[in-house]
Amino acid sequence: MGQPAILTVDDDPSVSRAIARDLRRRYGDKYRIIRASSAGDALDVLKELKLRGGRVAVMLADYRMPQMNGIDFLEQAMDLFPHARRALLTAYADTDAAIQAINVVDVDHYLLKPWDPPEEKLYPVLDALLDAWQATGDQEQPDIRVVGHRWSEPSFQIRDFLARNLVPYRYFGADEPEGRRLLEAAGAGPESVPLVVTADGRALSQPTVQEVAEAAGLSTNPGRDFYDLIIVGGGPAGLGAAVYGGSEGLKTLLIERQAVGGQAGQSSRIENYLGFPDGISGAQLTDRARRQADKFAAETLNTREVVGLRADGSARTLTFADGGEVSAHAILLATGVSYRPLLADGVADLTGSGVFYGSAATEGPACSGTDVYIVGGANSAGQAALFFAKYARRVTLLVRGDSLESSMSYYLIQQLARVENIEVRTRCEVIGALGEGHLQAITICDSKDGTKATVECGYLFVFIGAEPRTDWLGDAVARDGKGFIRTGSDLLANGDRPRGWDRDRDPFYLESSVPGIFAAGDVRANSIKRVASAVGEGAMAVALVHRYLEAQ
């Protein structure tokens, strides 16, 4: 029982023998290869392994099986071995099964039958799945427990932080029996919430996000004082740069003040990203990118806010909010953009208590049976509408413009039209929010006829504007009138290089007005606001950093 298992399930004896043969040939020295001829038999095997303390690294299940198909099997198998990686064996025509597998059981990969030659079509997939399993392990991790109030903004901030950083936790209301028991055990009253009880039993009353990060085992301090490359911002651009920087041997540090993944990490479904024809959630994409960065020894720093940047000779130094500093040969600014505040009466007072910025996926189940309103007309708003429609009685998308066509991808518009409990209202905006202790209603102004109406609203999610997070830069680098960082040829005025430029060359394409400081992704002036382009710019930035370092 010492070796972890790779389990295959297929009712076709010839296929079952073939995949077991190929797996033993490559992995038989390190893994126990187990094959079952039905989902029922496979579940019995898994239950026996569980009782005997065994471990399962990967489960491969055929989609078309009698009594129980591969999706239903994987869904039940997850209850026994939630950390095992999962792949579905499917025929090319079973695209519906693939889509369902993503939505229901979070399948990691698909293997099309036949997979000959295995060196090209089977082993690379299994290698990646096994690497991912080894990185996370198969040991049950004690969950962090959070006690809070449903309509408390500090309680929401902690739950949202843990969820976005993929830290397992259990939440209890302060008025629930288990919540009261935890408060009593900690010698705390309802006024002490949010209360966080760590895996080792420590009770933290009203902790800061950084204290929660440390309790969860997330890294909050740099491992060294000096790096080759420091990346500020953990969205797609920052993650792309971390993967390429680490893979190319640069001592790389990624700094993120909230949660790795940025706004893209909050997306319920990204369907136009290359290589994922059936879509992928922002959390899944973030998790895979973060694992890749870890694989290449790129260091990630959590909950640290950068407030200053300066050039120290050939070094570039960042200052943290607590006064600490860290330096590198080169800096990449990939801080993305934030949603613009909704300036309407009552909204500020109810933020975190029914009013949220971004998708706030942790609130999905709580929306059950309520009326949800979403403000915004871009892709992120459309994806959120589809997500919350699974829970809410009705979802209304409020769009200031005349239509969605100018701001939202065509495929999303078509999907919204097919969901019965989603309504799109154009030329509308929220001008007020009302509620005692939590959001209960909003006032909407319809500019088509000038009417105003106050309607019941349980939750309001805001997706408006795209403001860059660059105020902290001051005049350290050149920015445009909206705060976006100017780079490359945008810095040249009539062919003249920016003031203070000390190199006998023009700035590189993603280089700012200070040599060795680069920008990528949404924070860069005139960038394309898409996940794919942000990842591409992150990779491109690393190539330019190499050119910069070679000339030093």
**Average of pLDDT values for 308-334?**
96
Cα–Cα distance measured from residue 306 to residue 321, given in angstroms and rounded to the nearest whole number = 6
Class of domain 5-136: alpha beta
Q: What is the mean pLDDT of the chain?
A: 90
Q: Which fold has domain 144-216?
A: Glutaredoxin (3.40.30)
Q: pTM of the entire structure?
A: 0.76
> b or e along 196-220 (b: 16 or more beta carbons within 10 Å of the residue's beta carbon)?
bbbeeeebbbebebbbbbbbbebee
Q: pLDDT at position 93, please?
A: 56
* Owner of token pair 């895996």: 199
Let me know if the fold of 226-338+469-550 is the same as that of 348-464. Answer: yes
pLDDT of 198-218, one tens digit each?
A: 878 889 999 999 999 999 989
pLDDT tier at 94, thresholds 50, 70, 90: low
| Percent of the chain predicted with pLDDT > 70 | 96
Cα–Cα distance measured from residue 292 to residue 234, given in angstroms and rounded to the nearest whole number = 13
Looking at 3.50.50.60, 3.40.50.300, 3.90.100.10, 2.40.50.140, the CATH number of the domain 348-464 comes to: 3.50.50.60
Q: What is the DSSP string of 83-107?
A: TSEEEEEE-TT-HHHHHHHHHHH--
**pLDDT over 50 at 1, yes or no:** no
Contact 105, 75 (CB under 8 A): yes
> b or e along 388-406 (b: 16 or more beta carbons within 10 Å of the residue's beta carbon)?
bbebbeebbbbbeeeebee
Could you state, in order of their start, the residue ranges of all structural domains in the chain? 5-136, 144-216, 226-338+469-550, 348-464
Cα–Cα distance measured from residue 390 to residue 419, given in angstroms and rounded to the nearest whole number = 10
pLDDT of 113-158, one tens digit each?
A: 778 888 888 899 899 899 888 887 655 455 789 999 988 999 999 9
pLDDT tier at 83, thresholds 50, 70, 90: confident
| Percent of the chain predicted with pLDDT > 90 | 62
- Domain 226-338+469-550 carries which CATH code? 3.50.50.60
pLDDT of 40-73, one tens digit each?
A: 999 989 888 876 768 899 999 988 888 888 888 8
Q: How crowded is the C-beta side of 20, counted as CA atoms within 13 Å?
A: 18
pLDDT tier at 287, thresholds 50, 70, 90: confident
**pLDDT over 80 at 495, yes or no:** yes
pLDDT of 448-477, one tens digit each?
A: 888 999 999 999 999 998 799 899 999 999
**Average of pLDDT values for 508-515?**
97
3-state secondary structure of 249: coil
The H-or-E segment that residue 386 falls in is: helix 379-388
Contact 196, 203 (CB under 8 A): yes
Instruction: Beginning with the edge strand found earlier in the chain, give each strand of the sheet holding 169-173 in spatial order.
Output: 169-173, 144-148, 195-197, 203-205
**Average of pLDDT values for 501-518?**
96
518 DSSP β-pair partners: 332, 511
pLDDT tier at 266, thresholds 50, 70, 90: confident
pLDDT of 424-450, one tens digit each?
A: 999 999 999 999 999 999 999 999 888
